[in-house]
Protein backbone atom coordinates (compact mmCIF):
# COMPACT_ATOMS: atom_id res chain seq x y z
CA UNK A 1 0.00 0.00 0.00
CA UNK A 2 1.38 3.38 -1.04
CA UNK A 3 0.69 6.00 1.63
CA UNK A 4 -0.67 9.28 0.33
CA UNK A 5 1.97 12.03 0.10
CA UNK A 6 -0.49 14.57 1.57
CA UNK A 7 0.16 13.29 5.09
CA UNK A 8 -3.36 11.99 5.78
CA UNK A 9 -2.01 8.55 6.66
CA UNK A 10 -4.46 6.97 4.21
CA UNK A 11 -3.64 4.92 1.13
CA UNK A 12 -2.93 7.09 -1.92
CA UNK A 13 -5.54 5.16 -3.94
CA UNK A 14 -8.22 6.02 -1.34
CA UNK A 15 -7.11 9.61 -0.70
CA UNK A 16 -5.75 12.00 -3.35
CA UNK A 17 -5.36 9.71 -6.37
CA UNK A 18 -9.08 9.69 -7.34
CA UNK A 19 -9.05 13.53 -7.46
CA UNK A 20 -5.80 13.71 -9.45
CA UNK A 21 -7.07 11.12 -11.96
CA UNK A 22 -10.38 12.98 -12.31
CA UNK A 23 -12.55 10.15 -10.97
CA UNK A 24 -13.85 12.32 -8.10
CA UNK A 25 -13.96 15.99 -7.12
CA UNK A 26 -12.28 17.13 -3.92
CA UNK A 27 -15.14 17.66 -1.40
CA UNK A 28 -13.46 20.47 0.56
CA UNK A 29 -10.87 23.20 0.10
CA UNK A 30 -8.49 21.28 2.38
CA UNK A 31 -8.92 18.10 0.33
CA UNK A 32 -8.11 20.08 -2.82
CA UNK A 33 -5.04 21.58 -1.12
CA UNK A 34 -3.83 18.14 -0.08
CA UNK A 35 -4.42 16.72 -3.56
CA UNK A 36 -2.54 19.61 -5.16
CA UNK A 37 0.46 18.90 -2.90
CA UNK A 38 0.23 15.21 -3.86
CA UNK A 39 0.09 16.27 -7.52
CA UNK A 40 3.41 18.08 -7.09
CA UNK A 41 4.89 14.93 -5.55
CA UNK A 42 3.47 12.79 -8.39
CA UNK A 43 4.39 15.39 -11.08
CA UNK A 44 0.73 15.69 -12.17
CA UNK A 45 1.11 19.23 -13.51
CA UNK A 46 -2.07 19.04 -15.63
CA UNK A 47 -4.08 18.57 -12.40
CA UNK A 48 -2.33 21.51 -10.71
CA UNK A 49 -3.22 23.78 -13.62
CA UNK A 50 -6.75 22.36 -14.03
CA UNK A 51 -7.57 23.09 -10.36
CA UNK A 52 -6.81 26.82 -10.66
CA UNK A 53 -9.57 29.39 -11.13
CA UNK A 54 -9.70 30.26 -14.82
CA UNK A 55 -9.08 33.89 -15.71
CA UNK A 56 -7.52 34.69 -12.33
CA UNK A 57 -3.99 35.89 -11.69
CA UNK A 58 -2.81 32.36 -10.94
CA UNK A 59 -4.41 30.77 -14.02
CA UNK A 60 -1.44 31.67 -16.20
CA UNK A 61 0.85 29.12 -14.58
CA UNK A 62 3.98 28.32 -16.57
CA UNK A 63 3.65 24.60 -17.30
CA UNK A 64 7.37 23.99 -17.88
CA UNK A 65 8.62 25.78 -14.75
CA UNK A 66 5.92 24.08 -12.65
CA UNK A 67 6.94 20.67 -14.00
CA UNK A 68 10.63 21.47 -13.48
CA UNK A 69 10.00 22.50 -9.84
CA UNK A 70 7.91 19.39 -9.26
CA UNK A 71 10.47 17.01 -10.76
CA UNK A 72 13.63 18.67 -9.39
CA UNK A 73 12.33 18.71 -5.81
CA UNK A 74 12.33 15.99 -3.20
CA UNK A 75 9.03 16.53 -1.43
CA UNK A 76 9.41 16.08 2.34
CA UNK A 77 5.90 16.66 3.68
CA UNK A 78 2.84 18.86 3.96
CA UNK A 79 1.71 20.67 7.10
CA UNK A 80 -1.79 22.10 7.26
CA UNK A 81 -1.57 24.99 9.74
CA UNK A 82 -5.13 26.28 9.62
CA UNK A 83 -8.36 25.93 7.69
CA UNK A 84 -11.12 28.53 7.54
CA UNK A 85 -14.35 27.78 5.71
CA UNK A 86 -14.05 25.58 2.66
CA UNK A 87 -16.36 22.84 3.88
CA UNK A 88 -18.47 20.61 1.66
CA UNK A 89 -21.38 23.08 1.80
CA UNK A 90 -19.28 26.25 1.48
CA UNK A 91 -18.22 28.31 -1.51
CA UNK A 92 -15.01 29.91 -0.22
CA UNK A 93 -12.21 28.71 2.01
CA UNK A 94 -8.69 29.48 3.18
CA UNK A 95 -5.96 26.96 3.93
CA UNK A 96 -2.64 27.95 5.46
CA UNK A 97 0.01 25.33 4.79
CA UNK A 98 3.71 24.58 4.62
CA UNK A 99 5.09 22.34 1.88
CA UNK A 100 8.55 21.10 2.82
CA UNK A 101 10.96 20.13 0.05
CA UNK A 102 14.62 19.91 -0.90
CA UNK A 103 16.07 21.12 -4.16
CA UNK A 104 19.69 21.40 -5.29
CA UNK A 105 20.92 20.48 -1.82
CA UNK A 106 18.87 23.17 -0.08
CA UNK A 107 15.90 22.53 2.18
CA UNK A 108 13.08 24.99 1.72
CA UNK A 109 9.53 25.56 2.89
CA UNK A 110 6.76 26.96 0.73
CA UNK A 111 4.54 28.66 3.35
CA UNK A 112 1.31 29.97 1.86
CA UNK A 113 -2.13 31.13 2.87
CA UNK A 114 -4.24 29.97 -0.06
CA UNK A 115 -7.76 31.02 -1.03
CA UNK A 116 -10.13 28.56 -2.68
CA UNK A 117 -13.46 28.99 -4.44
CA UNK A 118 -16.16 26.48 -5.24
CA UNK A 119 -17.47 26.95 -8.77
CA UNK A 120 -20.18 24.73 -10.26
CA UNK A 121 -19.71 22.18 -7.48
CA UNK A 122 -15.91 21.93 -7.77
CA UNK A 123 -13.18 23.49 -5.61
CA UNK A 124 -10.46 25.57 -7.28
CA UNK A 125 -7.31 27.32 -6.06
CA UNK A 126 -7.93 31.05 -6.49
CA UNK A 127 -4.98 32.96 -5.05
CA UNK A 128 -2.47 32.88 -2.24
CA UNK A 129 -0.04 34.86 -0.17
CA UNK A 130 3.40 33.31 0.17
CA UNK A 131 5.28 34.02 3.40
CA UNK A 132 8.98 34.82 3.06
CA UNK A 133 11.29 32.09 4.39
CA UNK A 134 14.96 31.56 5.03
CA UNK A 135 16.53 28.78 3.01
CA UNK A 136 18.62 26.41 5.12
CA UNK A 137 21.53 24.44 3.66
CA UNK A 138 20.90 20.67 3.89
CA UNK A 139 24.58 19.88 4.58
CA UNK A 140 27.43 21.68 6.32
CA UNK A 141 29.03 24.67 4.60
CA UNK A 142 32.53 24.16 3.27
CA UNK A 143 34.99 26.24 5.31
CA UNK A 144 37.77 28.25 3.70
CA UNK A 145 40.46 25.92 5.10
CA UNK A 146 38.56 22.67 4.39
CA UNK A 147 39.59 20.44 1.50
CA UNK A 148 37.83 21.52 -1.69
CA UNK A 149 34.81 19.27 -2.40
CA UNK A 150 35.94 18.96 -6.05
CA UNK A 151 38.64 16.50 -4.92
CA UNK A 152 41.66 18.53 -6.08
CA UNK A 153 43.41 18.12 -2.73
CA UNK A 154 43.75 21.90 -2.37
CA UNK A 155 42.18 23.99 0.37
CA UNK A 156 38.79 25.38 -0.67
CA UNK A 157 40.07 28.99 -0.46
CA UNK A 158 42.77 28.24 -3.05
CA UNK A 159 40.53 26.27 -5.39
CA UNK A 160 36.81 27.00 -5.84
CA UNK A 161 36.45 29.37 -2.89
CA UNK A 162 37.99 32.37 -4.62
End-to-end CA distance of the chain: 50
Q: Please state the length of the chain.
A: 162
Whole-number pLDDT of residue 77: 96
Residue 149 belongs to a domain:
no
Q: pLDDT tens, position by position, for the chain (162 residues)?
A: 899 999 999 999 999 999 999 999 999 999 999 999 999 999 999 999 999 987 654 446 788 999 999 999 999 999 999 999 999 999 999 999 999 999 988 888 999 999 999 999 999 999 999 988 666 676 788 888 888 888 888 888 888 887
Q: What is the CATH number of the domain that holds 71?
A: 3.10.450.50
pLDDT score of 146: 87
Pair 67, 3: CB distance under 8 Å: no
Kindly state whether residue 161 falls inside one of the protein's structural domains.
Answer: no
pTM of the model: 0.79
155 lies in some domain: no
> Is 102 inside any structural domain?
yes
Q: Which residues contact 149 (CB under 8 A, 6 or more apart)?
A: 142, 156, 160
Cβ atoms of 20 and 42 within 8 Å: the answer is yes
Quote the number of domains for the chain: 1
Burial degree of 45 (CB within 10 A; 0-12, 13-18, 19+)? buried
**Domain assignment present for 156:** no
> For residue 65, what are the domain limits?
12-131
pLDDT at 49: 92
Whether 62 is in a domain gets the answer yes
Spell out where the chain has E strands.
Answer: 74-85, 92-103, 106-119, 122-131, 136-137
The pLDDT score that the predictor gives to residue 133 is 65
- Per-residue pLDDT at 134: 67
Residue 154 is assigned to a structural domain of this protein: no
Strand-pairing partners, residue 107, are 102, 136
**Position 126 in a domain:** yes
Amino acid sequence: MKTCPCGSGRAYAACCEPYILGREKAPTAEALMRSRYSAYVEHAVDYIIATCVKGGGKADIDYKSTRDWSEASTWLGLEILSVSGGGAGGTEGTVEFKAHYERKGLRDVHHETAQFKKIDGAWFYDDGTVAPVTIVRAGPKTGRNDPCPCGSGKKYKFCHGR
